[in-house]
Structure 1
Amino acid sequence: MNTRDLVLSALFAAIIVALGLLPPIPIGIIPVPITAQSLGVMLAGVVLGAKRGTIAVLLVVVLVTIGLPVLSGGRGGLAVFAGPTAGFFVGWIFAAFVTGYLSERLVKPEQSSLVQGVGFFIAAVIGGVVVLYAFGIAWLAVNIGFGKAFIGSLSFVPGDVVKAAVAALVGRAVMAGYPLLPQRS
């Protein structure tokens, strides 16, 4: 890993933290609010790839672990790992990795813009929605039961599909507009 990789990872960690400045939206059904930070996780995977995207998320995890209030709503510290959102938070690591891994496999420079955009979208949905929900719902089910966790999490799906579409558009724009960005790896 070179300096450019570290800088890009730190930049996307900062983007994830900045998206945490947007206030969380409580949904009332389950104790997990809607936040914009999952968009940052999808963006890290789509733009940076599996390795650098995961490092970006790990940087955010380190910031939270040492107590900085970088999560939506000003949360931080070890208590985050015991709360109802812990599954989603830990799932960010795996979501960024899977999103990046799939982006690297599905999207190639020689493809048309449409095919690239669809590839990024599929990667963001599988990594940033399916994988993230697997971790989040599993942890939430321990706290409130599987049925309530699953049904309550369905309210996130429309917004997360929109986030995946935004991540796909940004991924495509970065691929076209910043050809100096090293290969996603």
Structure 2
Amino acid sequence: MAVSAWVTVPLGPVPFTLQMFAITFAIVMLSPKECIAAIVLYLALGAIGLPVFSGMSGGIAKLMGPTGGFLWGYIFGVAAAVGLLYVLRRRMGAADKANASDQRGFVAFLKNAAAEIVAGLVFTAIAYFCGWLQLMLVMGISPEAAFLAGVAPFVVVDVLKILAAVACARAVKAAVR
């Protein structure tokens, strides 16, 4: 995750990074406990000052600054996303056993990929909300201004990163089977 944060393109107060890609990849690939532990460890390393955040920065000031809400949002977003994905996978697993002939091949692939994409979108929406809120409060700007500066420029690119992360995770899973 740290490396994904180091790839940075400044876009106003919130930089463009590959973190949404890396975290969505982790949501799909890791168990819920492993994924949450990875995010908590990442934030803890950054909080103690290791340069794991965007622009090779770290420290409590980064977590408390205008864009810190996006980082805090990772914990809540990942928790919600892995929980949702766990439930969806269990339900689809039960459906696979009950309707084996209907759930094979391409249909099963699409259902699983859709569940992973939805989990990535849930994660991103929660991270956006937390980031938007802290950006608004710390900078003292209106909700609209915070949305236009911290969320709107990233939506399309982040959706593409989610799709790419799910595709890469599925390719890795297929390669290691």
| TM superposition score normalised by structure 1 | 0.79
**Bigger Rg over Cα:** 2
Q: Map residues 135-174 of structure 1 onto 2, 5 A cutoff.
A: 135-142=130-137, 143=139, 144-152=141-149, 153-174=151-172
- 2:120 aligned to 121, 124, 145, which one? 124
Give the RMSD, CA atoms, in angstroms.
1.7
Query: Which amino acid letter does the alignment assign opposite residue 159 of structure 1?
Result: V
Q: Partners of 2:15 and 2:50 in 1: how far apart?
A: 19
| Aligned residues between the structures | 160
Partners of 2:47 and 2:60 within 8 A in 1 = yes
Cα distance change, pair 37–56 in 1 and its aligned pair in 2 (3 A): same
Residue 78, structure 1, aligned to residue 60, structure 2: yes
How much has 1:170 moved relative to structure 2? 2.8
Between the aligned partners of 2:30 and 2:85, the Cα distance in structure 1 is 9
Judge which range, 167-176 or 32-41, deviates more.
Answer: 167-176
Q: Which is bigger in relative contact order (C-alpha 8 A, separation at least 6)? A: 2
Percentage of matched positions with identical amino acids = 33
Shift of 1:171: 3.3
Q: Which runs of 5+ in 1 are unaligned?
A: 1-15, 180-185
- Range 151-160 or range 44-53, more displaced: 44-53
Quote the Cα distance in structure 2 between the aligned partners of 1:139 and 1:95.
Answer: 15
Is the CA contact 2:6–2:17 (under 8 Å) kept in the aligned structure 1?
Answer: no
Structure 1 residue ranges, 4+ long, deviating more than 6 angstroms after superposition: none
> Within 2, Cα distance between the matches of 1:80 and 1:70?
11
Q: Higher helix fraction: Structure 1 or Structure 2?
A: 2
Could you report, residue by residue, the CA deviation over 1:25-78 in whole angstroms, capped at 9, with x for unpaired residues?
Answer: 1223xx111111122121222211432111101111111011111112011011
For residue 58 of structure 2, give the secondary structure of its aligned residue in structure 1: coil
> Is 1:49–1:97's contact at 8 Å kept on the other side of the alignment?
no
Give the Cα separation in 2 of the matches to 1:39 and 1:99: 14
**CA shift in 2, pair 1:138/1:98, >3 Å:** same
Show CA shifts across 1:93-142 (max 9, x none): 11222221222122346451121111111111112x21111111111111
Offset, 1:173: 2.8
Pairing 1:3-42 to 2, within 5 Å after superposition? 16-22=1-7, 24-28=8-12, 31-42=13-24
Alignment partner of 1:88 is 2:81: no
What 5-or-longer segments of structure 2 have no aligned partner? 97-102
